[in-house]
Structures are given as structure tokens and as C-alpha cells.
Structure 1
Amino acid sequence: MIAAEPTTHIRLDKRGVAWVDDTKVKVIEVILDHLAYGHSADEIHLQHPHLSLAQVHAALAYYYDHQAELEAELEQRRRGVAALQQKAGASFSRKTLNARLKRA
């Protein structure tokens, strides 16, 4: 019989942010692919070949185990983006940027 060492593939940093082990990928980044595009674990693995399928499944499992807190973080990010968009207003519209490029 082969003894297997359990692994979670997820680590928390000092701030409590969940990362996929041995990578520079946050769990929430994997989750965004799942939520935004409806990608399955296999599809996420194809999009991120540097992640093992086990790491992708671990990130999804972590999300479902901590769904409320991760959803709160996503909502906080959405509010932050909306605030930045409102603050920027029309100053960063495509039309304004094109006009600036033509003047330069």
C-alpha cells in the first residue's frame, strides 16, 4: 500500500489571502474564470496550463468552502471599480483618449 500525503494546494498569506500553492495565482483569480465565463475545472486548466488540474479543483473547493467571504471580496472589488469609473468620468473615454493621441 502506498502512503499518500494529503495536500490542499492552497496556502494563505499573512493577510489571509488564499493562493494556489507554488504559484503566483490567487484563488480568487481562478474563481473569476469560473464565475465570469462558466468555465469548468477542465476549461480553467486549459486556460491556465501552469496550474495542475488538482490545483484548479483545490481552488474551486476552497471557493465553495469559503463562498460567503469570497463573494464579499468580489463585491468589494466591484464597488471599488465602480467608484474609480465614476471618479474618472469621461476623462478616460475612448473619444477623449483618441483626441489626446492626435494632439501628441
Structure 2
Amino acid sequence: MALSIIAEPAPLETNADGIVRVGKTRVTLDTVVAVFKQGATAEEIVYRYPSLNLADVYATIAFYLNHQQEVEIYLQQRQQQTHEVRKMNQQRFDPQGLRDRLLARKAEQEAC
């Protein structure tokens, strides 16, 4: 019996928001790459994120290593988007005094 070798696509899917997720999970490519860069093995990544399967993590790491420049550009774009959203939210919702406002609201509700 001959071994048939078939290339399988990377287990990555881009959702409607442009976020790349691994397999059928909610774990992002950003997360897997960041943990891998911190020195985690594929097995450690699966341990930290049990919704992932080991084969998908190895395939994701291989994809990252084979397409490092493109992935790094994607990661930089995601980091910029995150920064912009955080800045927009801070402008819309002043984080200063949030705890005090919540405690005041709770006290008002308890007084009623």
C-alpha cells in the first residue's frame, strides 16, 4: 500500500470582523502566536486552551513559521485596531471615577 501525501490547508478561518481564528474555536491566531513566541510548546498551548486540538496547533505554528512576514503584518494591524477601539471607548466612556459612580448607583438602588 502506497502512502498518499495530501497537503491540508491551515486550520484558520477569518470571521466577518477580519479576525483569524484557529479551527472551529474562538481562539485567535494572535493568541496562539503570542503564546508560541513566549516559548510554549504546542502541547502547552493545547493545555492552556483545551478547545484547540494538537494537530491544529501544530498546523497553525507551521503556518506562522512559513508565512511569518504576512502574519506579523496581520498582528500589527490587529494591535493598531485594538489601540483605536480602546481609545474610542475611553473617549466615549470616561474610566475615571467609574468605581465611585457604580457604588453611588448601588447605594441609590439599595435606598429605594
The bucket for the TM-score relative to the shorter chain is: 0.5 to 0.7
Per the alignment, residue 96 of structure 1 pairs with: 101
Contact 1:90 1:96 in 2 (8 A): no
User: Is 1:67 the equivalent of 2:72?
Assistant: yes
Name the amino acid aligned to 1:26: T
Greater shift, 65-74 or 39-48, is seen at 39-48
Q: 1:15 to 1:79 in 2, by over 3 A?
A: closer
Tell me, in whole angstroms, the C-alpha distance in 2 between the residues paired with 1:92 and 1:62.
45
- CA displacement at 1:44 relative to structure 2: 2.2
TM-score (norm 2): 0.64
Q: 1:3 to 1:59 in 2, by over 3 A?
A: same
- CA displacement at 1:94 relative to structure 2: 1.6
Tell me, in whole angstroms, the C-alpha distance in 1 between the residues paired with 2:97 and 2:32.
29
Tell me, in whole angstroms, the C-alpha distance in 1 between the residues paired with 2:94 and 2:18.
33
Q: Which has the larger radius of gyration?
A: 2
Per the alignment, residue 30 of structure 1 pairs with: 32
Q: Deviations over 1:5-59 (max 9, x none)?
A: 3322223456754332233443234345x28x93613332112112112222333
SS in 1 for 2:93: helix
Per the alignment, residue 44 of structure 1 pairs with: 45
Identity %: 24
Tell me, in whole angstroms, the C-alpha distance in 2 between the residues paired with 1:71 and 1:51.
24
Residue segments in structure 2 that go unaligned for 5+ positions in a row: none
Contact 1:10 1:18 in 2 (8 A): yes
Q: How many residues align?
A: 102
Tell me, in whole angstroms, the C-alpha distance in 1 between the residues paired with 2:14 and 2:85.
23
Task: Report the RMSD for the aligned CA atoms in angstroms.
Answer: 3.1
Residue segments in structure 1 that go unaligned for 5+ positions in a row: none
